[in-house]
Amino acid sequence: MADTDTTAQVPVTVLTGYLGAGKTTLLNRILSENHGRRFAVVINEFGELGVDNDLVVDADEEVFEMNNGCICCTVRGDLIRIIGGLMRRKGRFDGIIVETTGLADPAPVAQTFFVDEDVKRATRLDAIVTVVDAKHLPARLKDSSEAQEQIAFADIIVLNKMDLVAPAEADEVERMIKAINPYAEIRRSTKSDVPLDAVIGRDAFNLARILEREPEFLSGEDHHEHDSEVNSVSFEVSRPIDAERFNAWISRLLQEKGQDLLRTKGILHYAGDRRRFAFQAVHMIADGDYIGEAKEGDPRRSKIVFIGRDLNRPQLRRGFEACQVDA
Amino acid sequence: MAAVSEADFLLASRGVAKELGAWVAGAVFDRAGRLAFALADGTLHRHAEEGDWPVAVAHEGGLLSACADAKDGWLSGGDDGRLVRVAPDGMVTQIADYRGKWVDHVAAHEAGVRAAAVGKAVHVLGVAGAALKSLAHPSSPGGICFDAKGKRVAVSHYNGASLWFVGAKEDKPRLLEWKGSHHAIAFSPDGTHVVTAMQEPSLHGWRLADGQHMRMSGYPTKTKSLAFTARGRWLATSGAESVVLWPFFGGGPMGKAPTELAGGDEVMCSAVACHPQHEVVAAGFGDGLVLITEVASGKVVPVAPPRGSAVSALAWDAAGARLAFGTEAGFAGFVDLSRR
Ligand SMILES: [Zn+2]
């Protein structure tokens, strides 16, 4: 007789957002809705939860640098410890929700799920959900790099407090969000009233779904005034990618510019391979694997997306284009 | 171990094992040699010669850490914030309640002292339960341990370890600094060295006499279990596809290659326990295999066959006659090596 399977990975949702944006309201809504799912919730010390039937863990955010001496290569030590403890009793919950403090940089949380071998084995990052205040976001984006980072890292943005803004204001806020991160899905809400399925179980970090969303790029994106230093660029090429050239280019790029590159995602068609290669990185920490073959007749175009600071568009374009096999 | 049949494992001829149903967080012999298994579901199962093993409910939530209590019985910490004693008869007594915080690590020494890591503090308590002191750290402890005499407690954390004298009038730690996140920690039996396991898969050691640093690296995964052999000549560690032993003699471990024993199955070693008298190391692996290996000869004796789940707890009794083990899936047992 063999031991039972203990390998199923528990999904983790990361909830970020400025204090007062409606993050705790959303969390309370998720926990109190009658959905039959049980969550373990990791909150920061300032959190206030009105629900006590789920497993709530109160933690101080402990951001640890990794030993490579780089300031962007960080993990959340408290999460490694807490997930290690939770994973010994997997049957008790269906998912984990990690709430970050209002000023938190989401990178250490995300990187924890790529870096720590135990966390990687036991859990998978489901999505980063950022709650923003439609009224106050423009001011926040001007004065805070954390607010920009929380948008840049998001897979789903809950654009909250819609009752406090006029339609034109809301459209302008969406434009600002898309200028930073056109790949995030925006859900407008009042009092954080988004359906549970919109934020939980999204599987946004699954390599196979990494560029599933086709963003509506803003027309004339290169010409409008930048509201923030964080931006995104994307490139598509039509000739197959030379794996060696790409690896050399991307490793050097992440090494040199990783501190400014918040998120990188790509789908690549390597020469002589029918399968697609999916790639993602948070700062310098990368992850990649083959996903299914492209559909018969689909164009075999490769695509890469960068979200970050001080992106040198022509240089990145030339770099990616040079990864193609010779014409 | 592929060529070994089930009957060749000591468990078949000299052992007892059961399915206990939850992650085994500790296989713990108390000071009188009574064996209990502490499970992550909050229960403690005491071995009984006859019939069912009695179960004590130590924690309402999960149990995070367990050890032998100072005099007899067991001590455990849980995610319910409680530090609990289970007496040899199974009676559960709450020693402290640190509401809302996890009791991540516990340790006790027969000199009559207990320690519990809670949040960023390590609380030191007497056998009567009185709180003696609370030691503050820059980050949450990754591990705690007493020295052989129970006079000092070593606490690992981010950027190093802190060494405290339990009986000091003024609590000022000796800080052993090394950048990075430190977890499992061990004192050498003679109290001259402290070694920690780190987040980046490597070990770091300090020679206390002169603060000399010792780096021990090359592990494919994190070391979670480390132990010195009886007289402190070797440090046995998990985290590789073999039992990795670092020599703490003849100028080592710096500049010396470690000895690797019982490798070859391409499964990671997940737990080690050193025999209390001989240079013999017990090791558990990621597939549930348990074996004993002699350092000098490298000879391997199979103890328990692989069943698919990693060995999460492993311990010898003080006489070195019994070896107890438990797995993440809740399979637990022991073998008795004494002459019949
Ligand atoms: Zn970095």
pLDDT in tens, B171-214: 999 999 999 999 999 999 999 999 999 999 999 999 999 999 99
Which tokens sit at A264? 């990188």
Q: Which of A218-227, A241-250, B5-14 has the lowest mean pLDDT?
A: A218-227
- Please report whether residue A5 resides in a domain: no
**Domain span holding position B266:** 1-23+219-340
* pLDDT band at residue B261 using 50, 70 and 90 as cut-offs: very high
| A247 and A286 together in one domain | yes
Q: Which residues of chain B are at the A interface, by a Cβ-Cβ cutoff of 8 Å?
A: 22-23, 25, 40-41, 61-62, 64, 79, 100-102, 104, 119-120, 139-140, 142, 158, 179-181, 198-200, 221-222, 288, 307-309, 327-329, 331
> Which pLDDT score, from 0 to 100, does residue B227 have?
98
Better-predicted residue by pLDDT, B210 or A44: B210
- Please report whether residue B231 resides in a domain: yes
Residue with tokens 């040198």: A312
> Which pLDDT score, from 0 to 100, does residue B177 have?
97
- Please report whether residue A31 resides in a domain: yes
**Domain span holding position A125:** 10-205
| Terminal Cα-to-Cα distance of chain A (whole angstroms) | 58
> Which pLDDT score, from 0 to 100, does residue B192 have?
96
Which tokens sit at B114? 């207990």
Contact residues, chain B, for A78 at CB < 8 Å: 140
Residues A90, A10: Cα–Cα separation, whole Å: 8
| A306 and A234 together in one domain | yes
Which residue among A189, A205, A221 closes a domain? A205
pLDDT in tens, B322-340: 999 999 999 999 999 997 6
Considering its fold, how many domains does chain A have in total? 2
* pLDDT band at residue A59 using 50, 70 and 90 as cut-offs: confident
Whether residue A42 is predicted with pLDDT greater than 50 in this model: the reply is: yes
pLDDT in tens, B210-255: 999 999 999 999 999 999 999 999 999 999 999 999 999 988 898 8
Contact residues, chain A, for B79 at CB < 8 Å: 57, 85
Cβ of B130: how many Cβ atoms within 10 Å? 10
Phi, psi of B157 (to 5 degrees): -160, -170
pLDDT in tens, A143-185: 888 999 999 999 999 999 999 999 999 999 999 999 999 999 9
pLDDT in tens, A201-210: 999 888 888 7
Cis preceding linkage at B173, omega within 30: no
Q: With the CA atoms of B217, B219, B220 and B224 taken in that order, what torsion angle do they form, in degrees rounded to the nearest 10?
A: -120
Which tokens sit at A36? 């039959």
Which tokens sit at B38? 């502490």
CATH of the domain at B328: 2.130.10.10
pLDDT in tens, A269-297: 999 888 999 999 999 999 999 998 877 77
| A184 and A80 together in one domain | yes
- Please report whether residue A298 resides in a domain: yes
| A201 and A234 together in one domain | no
pLDDT in tens, B67-103: 999 999 999 999 999 999 999 999 999 999 998 789 9
List, edge to edge, every strand of the sheet that includes B15-19: B15-19, B331-336, B322-327, B311-316
Considering its fold, how many domains does chain B have in total? 1
Q: Where are the alpha helices (DSSP H) in chain B?
A: 10-14
Better-predicted residue by pLDDT, B78 or A219: B78
| A137 and A243 together in one domain | no
- Sequence-separated (6 or more) residues with CB below 8 Å from residue B297: none
Q: Please, is A230 exposed, middle or buried when counting C-beta atoms within 10 Å of its C-beta (0-12, 13-18, 19+)?
A: buried
| A247 and A197 together in one domain | no
> Which pLDDT score, from 0 to 100, does residue B46 have?
98
A85 to chain B, closest Cα gap in Å: 7
Contact residues, chain B, for A74 at CB < 8 Å: none
Q: State the average pLDDT for chain A.
A: 88
CATH of the domain at A192: 3.40.50.300
Tell me if B58 sits within 8 A of B38, measured CB to CB.
yes
Beta bridge partners of B105: B117
Residues B46, B129: Cα–Cα separation, whole Å: 23
> Which pLDDT score, from 0 to 100, does residue A218 have?
52
- Sequence-separated (6 or more) residues with CB below 8 Å from residue B164: B122, B135, B152, B153, B154, B155, B171, B173, B174
- Please report whether residue A14 resides in a domain: yes
Which tokens sit at B127? 């056998």
> Which pLDDT score, from 0 to 100, does residue A226 have?
58
Tell me if B59 sits within 8 A of B68, measured CB to CB.
no
- Please report whether residue B275 resides in a domain: yes
- Per-residue DSSP letter, B3: T
A50 to chain B, closest Cα gap in Å: 15
| A180 and A279 together in one domain | no
Q: How far is the CA of A283 from the centre of ligand 1 (A)?
A: 6
> Which pLDDT score, from 0 to 100, does residue A7 have?
53
> Average pLDDT of B30-59?
96
Residues B123, B117: Cα–Cα separation, whole Å: 6
Q: Biggest alpha carbon distance in chain B?
A: 59
> Average pLDDT of A32-49?
78
Which of A6, A55, A78 minimises the CB distance to B329?
A: A6
| A298 and A186 together in one domain | no
> Which pLDDT score, from 0 to 100, does residue A2 have?
39
| A185 and A115 together in one domain | yes
Phi, psi of A321 (to 5 degrees): -60, -35
- Please report whether residue A225 resides in a domain: no
| A164 and A252 together in one domain | no
Beta bridge partners of B292: B282, B301
pLDDT in tens, B275-305: 999 999 999 999 999 999 999 999 999 999 9
- Per-residue DSSP letter, A8: P
Tell me if B178 sits within 8 A of B141, measured CB to CB.
no
Contact residues, chain B, for A38 at CB < 8 Å: none
| A166 and A259 together in one domain | no
Q: How far is the CA of A233 from the centre of ligand 1 (A)?
A: 21
pLDDT in tens, B105-136: 999 999 999 999 999 999 999 998 899 999 99
Which tokens sit at A39? 């969550």
Which of A1, A85, A117 minimises the CB distance to B222?
A: A117
Whether residue A53 is predicted with pLDDT greater than 80 in this model: the reply is: no
> Average pLDDT of B25-37?
98
| A166 and A254 together in one domain | no
Could you tell me the pTM of the whole model?
0.92
Could you report the predicted ipTM of this complex, rounded to two decimals? 0.93
- Please report whether residue B6 resides in a domain: yes
